[in-house]
Structures are given as structure tokens and as C-alpha cells.
Amino acid sequence: METTIIFGSKRLGQQIASFSSGDKYSDRAVVTVEGNKGAGKSRRLLFNTKAAGLLGLDSGEVQELVFASVEGVSRQILVANKSLVPEADQANVVAYKTSKNKVANGEDTKEKSKAITSSFFTKEVFSFLGIDADAGSAEFYLNSFEGSQIEAHALVPVGEEPVIETNSGSKTMSDVQESITTEIAKQEAADSILSDEADQYIEPEAIEVIEELVQPDPQSNDFDDEDEAEAQASADIQEEESGSEWD
């Protein structure tokens, strides 16, 4: 079935099924969509610390997020930072502004999150995914979505991640990725090659170059030439004396 993704869509769809949220995990990127809170009370999307990090939501600044509906084998909602949308397309998308700083999630918790306040949009999320807003807040993991042209993350309901069979039993893809990351960290910590090399490194000593002075050899040609000169002078004297006798 063909997949259609449209970012910036205001209308996400109609109710198709029911769903109850599971537990929240503080060690995962989680988005909480608030359910009905009573008349006159606004509803929010809350992005915990890791979710805010994935989407580039820094405290002290207001960001804009865009959402897309994925219609195909299963319905999904994608979210991305508007800054990643091509400049030519930004004027045509509907974006939602975040709070400047983190806000309290509620009276019964001390957790604070970056937030989007929009009762309209939270209602559309529940309707599109078929979630009963009267049952309370819905919680979603943020999983990277590879089918989009920009860096986007899918809202996957907590407890509904695809399960993969591994040697150690059934695990979700996030569990597998987390276990791989943990194992790599353990191996790096156990591998002391780099630290050992650093400990064993010895600064090379400076090599002093000494110029050797060459002493003249007593048997060198300089002395041989002098002896030869003396012998030649003696021979000349003898020749002169011998010549005088012939005279």
C-alpha cells in the first residue's frame, strides 16, 4: 500500500480505534499528549528531556515543530523541527510553537518538559490514532523514521513497539539498540589498550651529536713526504761528491 506523508497538515483524521497508554520511562525519549482535563483547561504535548534533545528543543528559546500524518499499513504521526524543512516550503507548513522554558508536567509530579499548548492539536492526535481522550494522557516513544526526506521521528505508543526475536528473547528495536550501545560502552571500558599505551609512553631522550676530532696518523703521507725529501737531498749531495771525483 502506498504511503503518503504530508507535513504541516492541520487535520489528522478521524477516530478509528481505542488505545490505553502504558507506563512512562524516564530513560527514553517520551512525548506525553494530555487527554481531556475538563472545561476551560488547555491541553499540551509534553516533551521530556531526551525527546527535547532529539528534536533540538533547547531551554531558553522558542522552537517550532511540524507534524505529519502517515497513512498506510498503520497510521502514525511524525514530528520534526521546522528548521529542517526546506526554506522554500516553510511558508506553506503549519507549525506549533514550544514553550520558551520547561513547564511542570502536573501537580502530581516534579518532572518538567518543553511543551506545546494546543487543545485543538491534542484532540486531533487522539482522534487520528483512535485514542480515548477521556482515559487520560497518552504517552509515546520517539523512534527515528527513515521514510521521510527530513529528520523526523514517529510517535510510537508506549507498549506497542514492534517486537524482535533475539537470542536473549523478545525485544523491541529500541531495546536492541540500547543493549548494543551498552555492550559497546562496556567493551570500550574493558579495553585498556589505549590507556596502557598512554601509561607506557616514554619521552624519547635527546640524542647529543658529538663531532669527532680526527688526529693525524703518524704513518700518514705527510710524514712520508718529508722522509722522501730528506733522502733525495742526501742523494744529491752524494752525486755532487761523486762528480767531483770524475773531474
**Does one domain contain both 45 and 139?**
yes
**Does one domain contain both 109 and 193?**
no
The model's pLDDT over 193-241, given as tens digits with 9 standing for 90+, comes to 544 554 555 555 555 555 555 555 555 454 455 556 566 666 665 655 5
Res 166 pLDDT > 80: no
Count: domains in the chain: 2
- How far is the C-alpha of 204 from the C-alpha of 214, rounded, in Å? 30
**Domain end among 133, 161, 189:** 161
**Does one domain contain both 154 and 167?**
no
**Does one domain contain both 83 and 167?**
no
Q: 66: domain range?
A: 4-161
Is residue 154 situated within a structural domain? yes
**Does one domain contain both 173 and 152?**
no
| β-sheet bridge partners, residue 153 | 79, 144
Is residue 243 situated within a structural domain? no
Is residue 79 situated within a structural domain? yes
Concatenated DSSP letters of 162-222: PEEEETTEEEEHHHHHHHHHHHHHHHHHH--HHHHHHHH--PPPPPPP-PPPPPPPTTSHH
What does the mean pLDDT of the chain come to? Answer: 75
Q: How many helices (H) and strands (E) does the chain have?
A: 5, 12
Q: Once rounded to an integer, what is the mean pLDDT over residues 172-181?
A: 58
Res 17 pLDDT > 50: no
- Rounding to the nearest 10 degrees, give the CA dihedral for residues 117, 119, 121, 126: 120
**Does one domain contain both 97 and 188?**
no
pLDDT score recorded for residue 175? 58
Is residue 213 situated within a structural domain? no
**Does one domain contain both 172 and 54?**
no
Is residue 226 situated within a structural domain? no
Is residue 204 situated within a structural domain? no
**Does one domain contain both 108 and 73?**
yes
**Does one domain contain both 29 and 8?**
yes
SS3 12: coil
**Does one domain contain both 96 and 169?**
no
Q: Once rounded to an integer, what is the mean pLDDT over residues 43-57?
A: 94
Query: Closest Cα to residue 155, out of 58, 55, 85, 57?
Result: 55
